[in-house]
Amino acid sequence: MTTNNIAVLKFGGTSMGTAETMNICADVISNKIKQKEKPFVVVSAVSKMTDTLIKLLELAKNNKKHDLNTVFQASKDRHFEILKNLTKNAELIEKYSKIINAKFAHLFEILNGIILTSDYSEKTQAYVLSYGEDLSSDLMELCLIENGIKGKKINSNKLVKTHGSYLSSDVDFIKTKRAFSKIAKEIENGTIFVMTGFFGGGIDNEIMLLGRGGSDFSGSIAGIALNAKIVEIWTDADGVMSADPRIIKEAKSWEEMNKDIASEMARAGAKVLHPKTISASFYKIDILIRNLFNRAFNGTLINSKLYGDGVKGVVSDDDYSILHLENQDMFGSAGFVAKIGIIAKENNISLDMTTTSETSISFTIKTKTLNKVALKAFNSIADFSIVEDVVKVSVIGENISNNQILEKLFTALKSSKIEPLMISMGHSNNNIGIIIKKNDKVKTIESLHKAFF
Ligand code: ASP
Ligand code: MG
């Protein structure tokens, strides 16, 4: 039950891309305040900054000082460019220049530390990557103040309490709620917090990331911890769509969508939101996906309602490989799949789609997780081959595992001469996956989208 009027507003990288887009965010926030809602803001890093920080880490690790200096300077300039365009107030410029300067100086020291010590631990990586959101939230605070809003930046490592791995940690919601309760009064009194997305903090507030794209999840975590009325994810697309609009021009936007279907879409590769974001709807908090650059569109509302049977999207996920393992001893024997599972676990490889015959098993994995040790181990238990450059296309919807849908699907594939390499349909009733060659991707999505919409 919601007892307050808190709206968590999460702004993504493109929304944080320039002073101009930040000012649009401020306008969204202002409107909420006018409507007597209490915004709690969560921000991503300035667009592409996380990628840049990863690049800087790589350059430091490989002792490429010259390139490191160039990339470092460019990202520093970019933040100062935004700062300069946010305000003309000399006092504010001085205050925020000092903050940004100090952070870049510190970051530079850490990167040089990596060059000197070759320390490239996950803890250090997480710390370096947190600079993106740490800097963007300072700029957003300035933007709000410049717009006459009582903005106050707050670091998420003190609020979002996590444990597990530094690069993709798990949230402890009991501790997190306790931490958030300490700022409830201030929110009540009208402070607009700007929280860094993407990371939480461990026992000593050490930075722990929530995984790539994790700022959406940060929004949901804040929503859950504050028992918010709504979590709004402000992005650069018209909500959840029936296909990627860059591939299908006619892709349609959904005004409402069931949480399980939305989460299936996100897991299957829809870029619009991080799969874990849906967790808020399990706490009965509505999630609204909005487009900052098309505010006329009301967005996609994600909640627990059922919206009727049928296909809701055709989604793709790139960069897979198929591993085929064949062994005549597999027939009727016990424990073969377990052997595969152990090799996968030991090599930190996540198995995706899996299909079997009596003497063979095929599964897909993300190509970048392939490594020589794992390949050798697989080879030691079975004859083995790889098909690289394959893509997973998923048809997602409510109650779609039926002949009617399958007939349409195969008719579409047949008429566009696409041969599926693997197919998966199972208990969930809301996902049919097919593996196809990378070169067939666009044609597959086009023909399936046309068949279902
Ligand atoms: N900046 C982080 C990333 O690019 C988190 C996010 O924006 O969601 O992965
Ligand atoms: Mg994102």
Spacing, Cα 233 to ligand 1 middle (Å): 13
Amino acid in position 193 = F
Pocket of ligand 1 (CB under 6 A): 13, 44-45, 50, 132, 197-198, 212-216
Full pLDDT tens readout for the chain, 453 residues: 456 899 999 999 999 999 999 999 999 999 999 999 999 999 999 999 999 999 999 999 999 999 999 999 999 999 999 999 999 999 999 999 999 999 999 999 999 999 998 888 999 999 999 999 999 999 999 999 999 999 999 999 999 999 999 999 999 999 999 999 999 999 999 999 999 999 999 999 999 999 999 999 999 999 999 999 999 999 999 999 999 999 999 999 999 999 999 999 999 989 888 999 999 998 999 999 999 999 999 999 999 999 988 999 999 999 999 999 998 887 877 888 899 999 999 998 999 999 998 889 999 999 999 999 999 999 999 999 999 999 999 999 999 999 999 999 999 999 999 999 999 998 788 999 999 999 999 999 999 999 999
The DSSP-derived string for 202-243 is -TT--EEEB-TTTHHHHHHHHHHHHT-SEEEEEESSSSSBSS
User: What is the position in ligand 1's atom list of the atom closest to the CA of 216?
Assistant: 8
State residue 329's pLDDT score: 83
State residue 57's pLDDT score: 97
State residue 3's pLDDT score: 60
Find the Cα–Cα–Cα–Cα dihedral 405, 406, 409, 412, rounded to 10°.
-110
Cα→Cα distances 447→313, 414, 436, Å: 13, 10, 13
- Residues whose Cβ atom is located within 5 A of ion ligand 2: 12, 213
Ligand closest in space to the Cα of 129? 1
**Best probe residue, ligand 1, of 15, 48, 49, 50 (max atoms within 8 Å of C-beta):** 50
State residue 2's pLDDT score: 52
Two tokens at 216?
């959406």
- 50 vs 126: CA distance, rounded Å: 11
State residue 427's pLDDT score: 79
Spacing, Cα 65 to ligand 1 middle (Å): 26
Closest among 252, 200, 247 to 221, alpha carbons compared:
200
State residue 271's pLDDT score: 85
pTM assigned to the model = 0.92
Two tokens at 243?
């296909």
Ligand closest in space to the Cα of 133? 1
Residue with the smallest CA separation from ligand 1 atom 6 is 213
Exposed e or buried b for every residue in 358-377, given b needs 16+ CB within 10 A? ebbbbbbbeeeeeeeebeeb
Q: For the chain, report the end-to-end CA distance as a whole number of angstroms.
A: 37
State residue 330's pLDDT score: 77
Question: Residue 298: exposed, middle, or buried by beta-carbon count in 10 A (0-12, 13-18, 19+)?
Answer: middle
Q: What is the pLDDT of residues 75-113, one digit of tens each?
A: 999 999 999 999 999 999 999 999 999 999 999 999 999
Spacing, Cα 213 to ligand 2 middle (Å): 5
310-326 and 383-398 strand pairing: antiparallel
Exposed e or buried b for every residue in 389-413, given b needs 16+ CB within 10 A? ebbbbbbbbbebeeeebeebbeebb
User: Which helix or strand (DSSP H or E) is residue 362 part of?
Assistant: strand 360-366
User: What is the position in ligand 1's atom list of the atom closest to the CA of 198?
Assistant: 5
Amino acid in position 343 = I
The C-alpha R_g of the chain, in whole angstroms, comes to 24
